[in-house]
Structure 1
Amino acid sequence: MIGRLRGVVLEKIPPQLLLDVNGVGYELEAPMNTFYKLPGIGEEATLFTHFVVREDAQLLYGFADRNERRLFRDLIKVNGVGPKLALTILSGIEASQFVRCVHDGDTNALVKLPGVGKKTAERLLIEMKDRLKDWNNAPEDFVLTMSDSDATTPEASTADNRVEAEQALIALGYKPQQASKAINSVFSAELATEELIRLALKGMV
């Protein structure tokens, strides 16, 4: 089991990234809430990971902290929720917000996520409630940090950022028309790809 990786970020194509660990390139998929915390290309990052083995693929998922990985592992135990849907949920809603929805029995935010209908939302509330009882006491362990310059100075943005942002939303389960509309509503040439995605997801939820 691969539980954690520390290496240099080589590529960031949401929701996928490539991490160089001592000369070995690991391909990972990560929720957007982890992407927002990633340092720039060529900088070092540490990710907590979850390894999934299927008949047709071996997939590695990366998370900014143990709590996010724990929530992912709890989500994929829910009937009808696989890794892809869990990734979509953690991209469209912050972990703390999801926990609040479960504690409050609120399905409104959940049903706005692609792949989460009313029945799935209700199932999530029922099956996750007991698993998240001690969430507020769980230790936070953030390992991805950004310098002040990273946080305030976005990467140069072009029309390619719009395309990458739309493709990321589609990969997360949104329909092409939904993705295009959401990105167009927040697009600015000054925004980096991750920021476009963050604002688009926030607007949809």
Structure 2
Amino acid sequence: MIGRLTGVIAEKNPPQIVLDVNGVGYELDVPMSTFYNLPSVGDKATLLCHFAVREDGHYLYGFLSESERFAFRQLLKISGIGARTALSVLSGLSVADLAAAVARQEVGRLIKVPGIGKKTAERLLLELKGKLAETTGAALPATVDDAAQDILNALLALGYNEKEAGGALKQLPAGVSTSDGIRQALKLLSKV
């Protein structure tokens, strides 16, 4: 198995790169989170790898961090999730965001990722529960206020983006009920 490669970046064609390791060019598919953090063509880079052998070929996937590779491997263990879908999830969400979404069971965050529908998102949340937070070191709040989470989910379901919904949530008084919080948040958002 190929676990890590160090070489010079020869080509960058998202989501694929070619890493020249002592004259041998390895094609690696990488999530966009890794792609955007890679150095320029001609510079040296080290990537952690996941090597997959399938009937139609051998494939290498590259990651800048162990947490990304671990999350990718956890995603692959889920029935119906292939490498392309796993890369798409990691391209759309950071590992910390994915771990937070799983911990809070936020379907809305996952269905924003291209190629992920509601049923797939629900299956991901169920299968990944408890598997990412400890290993990725994702910092989650010690207690998540249920009313605040319900208000946030309602605003996201109504079509507001996370920035707008989060901004409105911060302006609400502490301990507000879900229904009052939604009503007050909508008033705040209508003034913007």
For residues 25 and 110 of structure 2, what CA distance do their matches in structure 1 show? Answer: 34
Query: Helix, strand or coil for the counterpart of 2:107?
Result: coil
1:59-86 Cα deviation digits (max 9, x unpaired): 1000011110000000010111110100
Amino acid paired to 2:127: E
Distance 1:100 1:137 in 2: 11
1:21, CA displacement in angstroms? 0.3
Question: Hey, what does 2:81 align to over in structure 1?
Answer: 81
Q: Which residue of 2 aligns with 1:57?
A: 57
Percent sequence identity is 54
Q: Where does residue 25 of structure 1 map in the other structure? A: 25
Q: Which amino acid aligns with 2:124?
A: L
**Other structure's SS at 1:134 match:** helix
- What's the counterpart of residue 41 of structure 2? 41
> Which of the pair has more CA radius of gyration?
2
Give the Å deviation of 1:133: 4.2
CA contact (8 A) 2:95 2:136 kept: no
Matches of 1:100 and 1:21, distance apart in 2:
36
* Ranges in structure 1 where 5+ consecutive residues have no aligned partner: 139-205
Contact 2:67–2:136 (CA under 8 A) maintained in structure 1: no
Structure 1's consecutive aligned runs of 4 or more residues displaced over 4 angstroms after TM superposition are: none
* Aligned-pair CA distance for 1:137: 4.0
Following superposition of structure 1 onto structure 2, how do residues 27-176 of structure 1 map, counting pairs within 5 Å? 27-135=27-135, 137=137
Which whole-Å CA distance do the structure 1 matches of 2:64 and 2:111 have between them? Answer: 25
Structure 1 pair 50–40 and aligned structure 2 pair: CA distance change class (3 A): same
Measured after TM superposition, the shift of residue 130 of structure 1 is: 2.4
Counterpart code for 1:89: V
Residues 108-133 of structure 1, C-alpha deviation per residue, up to 9 Å, x if partnerless?
01111122111111111111012124
Give distance in 2, aligned partners of 1:37 and 1:118: 30
Offset of residue 134 of structure 1: 1.2
Q: What does residue 160 of structure 2 align with? A: none
**Equivalent pair of 2:19/2:26 in contact (CA under 8 Å):** yes
Aligned positions, number? 138
- d(CA) in 2 for partners of 1:64, 1:4: 10
- Distance in 2 separating the partners of 1:103 and 1:9: 36
CA distance in 1, matches of 2:94, 2:55: 31
User: Is the alpha carbon distance of 1:98 and 1:21 closer, same or farther for their aligned partners in structure 2, counting shifts above 3 Å?
Assistant: same
Counterpart in 2 of 1:3? 3
Counterpart-to-counterpart distance in 1, 2:136 and 2:83 = 24
Task: Give the superposition deviation at 1:135.
Answer: 3.0
Change (3 A) 1:136 1:53: closer
User: Which consecutive unaligned segments of at least 5 residues does structure 2 have?
Assistant: 139-192
Instruction: Give the aligned residue type for 1:10.
Output: A
Q: Partners in 2 of 1:78 and 1:136 — Cα distance?
A: 18
Distance 2:42 2:133 in 1: 39
